[in-house]
Structure 1
Amino acid sequence: MTTADLHLLTGAYALHALPDEESNAFERHLTGCEACAQEAAELSATAARLGLAVSSTPPTELRAQVLHRITTVRQETSGRRPQNRTALAGLRTRALSRWALAACLAAATALGGTAVWQHQRAEDARDRARQAVQASDEIAAVLAAPDARTRAAALAGGATGTVVVSRGKDRAVFVVSGMARPPGGKVYQLWFDDAGTMRSAGLMNPARSAQTVLLRGTVDDSSGMGITVEPAGGSDHPTSAPVALLTFPT
Structure 2
Amino acid sequence: MNTDDRHSLTGAYALDALSDEERRAYERHLAECASCREEVTALSETTARLGLAASAPVPPSLQEDVLRRIAQVQQVPPAVSAAPAQAAPLRGRSRRGPLWALAASIASAVLLGGTAVVQHNLAQDAEQETQRVEQAAGEVAAVLAAPDARLTTTGLPQGATGTVVVSRSLDRAVFTAADLAEPPSGKVYQLWFNDRGTMRPAGLIDPDHTTTAMVMDGPVEGATGMGVTLEPAGGSARPTSPPIALATFPAA
Match of 1:33 among 104, 111, 114: 114
In structure 1, stretches of 5+ residues that fail to align are 1-27, 46-121
Match of 1:220 in 2: 221
Match of 1:166 in 2: 167
Match of 2:93 in 1: none
In the TM superposition, residue 210 of structure 1 has moved relative to its aligned partner by 2.1
The amino acid across from 1:44 in the alignment is A
C-alpha contact (below 8 Å) 1:34/1:132 kept by paired residues: no
C-alpha contact (below 8 Å) 1:193/1:222 kept by paired residues: yes
In the TM superposition, residue 128 of structure 1 has moved relative to its aligned partner by 3.1
CA distance in 1 between partners of 2:241 and 2:117 (Å): 38
In the TM superposition, residue 135 of structure 1 has moved relative to its aligned partner by 0.9
In the TM superposition, residue 152 of structure 1 has moved relative to its aligned partner by 1.6
In the TM superposition, residue 130 of structure 1 has moved relative to its aligned partner by 2.4
CA RMSD of aligned residues (A): 2.6
Match of 1:89 in 2: none
| Greater relative contact order, per chain length (Cα 8 Å cut-off, separation 6+) | 2
C-alpha contact (below 8 Å) 1:200/1:216 kept by paired residues: yes
The amino acid across from 1:157 in the alignment is Q
Secondary structure at 2:175's aligned position in 1? Answer: strand
Match of 1:9 in 2: none
CA distance in 2 between partners of 1:30 and 1:196 (Å): 31
**1:125-155, Cα deviation, whole Å (9 max, x unpaired):** 4443322211110000001111100012222
Compute the TM-score of the two structures, normalised by the length of structure 2: 0.52
Secondary structure at 1:128's aligned position in 2? Answer: helix
The amino acid across from 2:205 in the alignment is M
**1:193-231, Cα deviation, whole Å (9 max, x unpaired):** 111111111100112222212101111110000111111
The 3 A distance-change label for structure 1 pair 133 and 160 is: same
Compute the TM-score of the two structures, normalised by the length of structure 1: 0.52
C-alpha contact (below 8 Å) 1:163/1:175 kept by paired residues: yes
In structure 2, stretches of 5+ residues that fail to align are 1-108
C-alpha contact (below 8 Å) 1:187/1:231 kept by paired residues: yes
* Aligned pairs (5 A) from 1:126-141: 126-141=127-142
Match of 2:123 among 25, 28, 44: 44
In the TM superposition, residue 175 of structure 1 has moved relative to its aligned partner by 1.2
CA distance in 2 between partners of 1:194 and 1:158 (Å): 27
Match of 2:70 in 1: none
C-alpha contact (below 8 Å) 1:34/1:133 kept by paired residues: no
The 3 A distance-change label for structure 1 pair 35 and 142 is: farther
The amino acid across from 2:222 in the alignment is D
Secondary structure at 1:249's aligned position in 2? Answer: coil
Percent identity for Structure 1 against Structure 2: 52
Aligned residue pair count: 144
C-alpha contact (below 8 Å) 1:142/1:166 kept by paired residues: yes
**1:92-143, Cα deviation, whole Å (9 max, x unpaired):** xxxxxxxxxxxxxxxxxxxxxxxxxxxxxx3xx4443322211110000001
In the TM superposition, residue 30 of structure 1 has moved relative to its aligned partner by 7.2
Secondary structure at 1:187's aligned position in 2? Answer: strand
Secondary structure at 1:31's aligned position in 2? Answer: coil
Larger Rg: 1
The 3 A distance-change label for structure 1 pair 155 and 166 is: same
CA distance in 1 between partners of 2:120 and 2:185 (Å): 30
The amino acid across from 1:240 in the alignment is S
C-alpha contact (below 8 Å) 2:228/2:246 kept by paired residues: yes
CA distance in 2 between partners of 1:150 and 1:212 (Å): 14
The amino acid across from 2:193 in the alignment is F
The 3 A distance-change label for structure 1 pair 247 and 133 is: same
CA distance in 2 between partners of 1:35 and 1:208 (Å): 13
Secondary structure at 2:193's aligned position in 1? Answer: strand
CA distance in 2 between partners of 1:167 and 1:32 (Å): 30
The 3 A distance-change label for structure 1 pair 36 and 176 is: closer
